[in-house]
């Protein structure tokens, strides 16, 4: 059974809901050990004290904060538990906001945690979940996790609720540090239309089960081949960046590949449409030419022909 990594309560107004936090994700990456390249023996990371010139146990260490160069104050677990903040043992909801806010700060997610209500608080827990779902709201909160107060958001998820921790605003770097153009480049109408076709052809319902970690699988295969003494495959050559001149061609080829992958009929390319339009104009002109000549000849014949005299009685 999963082990709770935090226990406290959700609080908003005078309502208190006892809950536990469980990590909602786990790392599936491949980890490596540090080896000595000479004999491939595993390197040991030891806790070393330079003053006593000896390796010490982690049990002999304490937390220290450097308040001045070379000057430390020791902070114990009891000190941390005695911090005078409600968020040490409570998820304090600050406000409720739209579930899809325009504020981009909520996109900088740190971690995700499942919330599990204690039996005594299930009615209030699911009442809160139901209202958030019906009103399409997110609860913005603060809580202390692992000796740090974090900003978070609570949302309905499956049969429970999900707490996602967010970065504080002053932790988010400004885009002013990037080399961005002062004026945004303007796309041609044809390029925009083709990009819309490509996005439309690639739009579908998101199914997380359809995705898996290709890199991890490839890395495992490489490791298995090396263990078996087999030669590894050649790396895939990187795709060249799209040239501005070739943007339209790249979009057209992408649209064609996307619709063909779904068994649909590829749309007509811009060049093909232009060629067809020009051919239609030429064909129309070719048909109209003889007609105009014939009409002109008839008109000239009528003009040159002498008028017949009326017979007198």
Decide if 5 contacts 22 (C-beta within 8 A).
yes
* Cα–Cα nearest to 17, from 155, 123, 165, 166: 123
Query: What angle do the packed helices 247-261 and 270-304 form, to 10 degrees?
Result: 100
Residues 118 and 12 placed together within one structural domain of the fold: yes
- Is 100 among the domain residues? yes
- Is 206 among the domain residues? no
Residues 19 and 118 placed together within one structural domain of the fold: yes
How large a percentage of the chain has pLDDT more than 90? 20
Residues 194 and 277 placed together within one structural domain of the fold: yes
Quick: pLDDT tens for 231-249. Answer: 655 655 555 555 545 777 8
Residues 255 and 148 placed together within one structural domain of the fold: no
Range of the domain at 108: 6-25+64-171
- Is 263 among the domain residues? yes
Give me the mean pLDDT over the 153-166 stretch.
94
Residues 133 and 194 placed together within one structural domain of the fold: no
Dihedral sign of CA atoms 204, 209, 210, 211 in order = positive
- Is 124 among the domain residues? yes
Residues 77 and 150 placed together within one structural domain of the fold: yes
- Is 295 among the domain residues? no
- Place 294 in a pLDDT band, splitting at 50, 70 and 90: low
Residues 156 and 278 placed together within one structural domain of the fold: no
Name residue, tokens 């000239």: 300
Report the pLDDT value the prediction gives residue 135, as an integer from 0 to 100: 94
d(CA 63, CA 72): 9
Predicted structure pTM score = 0.65
d(CA 127, CA 161): 11
The answer to whether residue 174 scores a pLDDT higher than 80 is yes
* Cα–Cα nearest to 140, from 88, 86, 96, 90: 96
- Is 44 among the domain residues? no
- How many Cβ atoms from other residues are within 10 Å of residue 142's Cβ? 16
Domain count for the chain? 2
- Is 289 among the domain residues? no
Residues 121 and 90 placed together within one structural domain of the fold: yes
121, two tokens: 């608080």
Residues 143 and 274 placed together within one structural domain of the fold: no
| CATH at 121 | 2.40.290.10
Residues 261 and 116 placed together within one structural domain of the fold: no
The answer to whether residue 132 scores a pLDDT higher than 90 is yes
Paired strand residues for 66: 72
Quick: pLDDT tens for 62-102. Answer: 988 888 888 888 888 877 766 667 787 888 888 888 886 55
Residues 113 and 254 placed together within one structural domain of the fold: no
- Is 280 among the domain residues? yes
Residues 21 and 86 placed together within one structural domain of the fold: yes
Least confident of 23-27, 65-69, 227-231: 227-231
- Place 163 in a pLDDT band, splitting at 50, 70 and 90: very high
**Which residue has better confidence, 213 or 273?**
213
Report the pLDDT value the prediction gives residue 197, as an integer from 0 to 100: 86
């Amino acid at each position: 059974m999963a082990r709770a990594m935090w226990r406290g309560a959700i609080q908003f107004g005078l309502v208190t809901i006892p809950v536990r936090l469980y990590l909602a994700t786990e790392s599936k990456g491949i980890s490596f050990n540090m080896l000595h390249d000479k004999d491939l023996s595993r390197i040991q990371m030891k806790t070393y004290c330079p003053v006593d010139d000896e390796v010490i146990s982690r049990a002999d260490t304490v937390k220290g904060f450097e308040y001045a160069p070379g000057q430390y104050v020791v902070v114990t677990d009891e000190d941390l538990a005695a911090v005078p903040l409600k968020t040490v043992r409570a998820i304090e909801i600050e406000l409720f906001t739209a579930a899809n806010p325009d504020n981009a700060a909520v996109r900088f997610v740190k971690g995700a945690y499942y919330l599990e209500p204690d039996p005594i608080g299930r009615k209030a827990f699911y009442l809160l979940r139901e209202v958030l779902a019906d009103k399409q709201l997110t609860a913005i909160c603060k809580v202390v996790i692992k000796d740090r107060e974090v900003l978070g958001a609570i949302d309905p998820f499956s049969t429970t609720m999900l707490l996602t921790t967010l970065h504080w605003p002053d932790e988010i770097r400004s885009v002013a540090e990037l080399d961005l153009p002062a004026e945004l480049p303007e796309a041609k109408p044809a390029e925009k239309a083709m990009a819309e076709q490509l996005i439309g052809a690639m739009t579908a319902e998101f199914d997380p089960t359809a995705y898996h970690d290709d890199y991890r699988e490839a890395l495992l295969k490489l490791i298995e081949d090396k263990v078996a003494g087999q030669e590894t495959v050649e790396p895939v050559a990187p795709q060249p960046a799209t040239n501005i001149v070739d943007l339209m061609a790249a979009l057209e080829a992408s649209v064609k590949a996307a619709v063909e992958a779904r068994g649909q009929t590829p749309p007509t390319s811009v060049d093909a449409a232009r060629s067809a339009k020009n051919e239609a104009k030429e064909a129309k002109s070719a048909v109209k030419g003889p007609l105009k000549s014939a009409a002109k000849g008839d008109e000239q014949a009528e003009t040159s022909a002498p008028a017949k005299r009326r017979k007198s009685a």
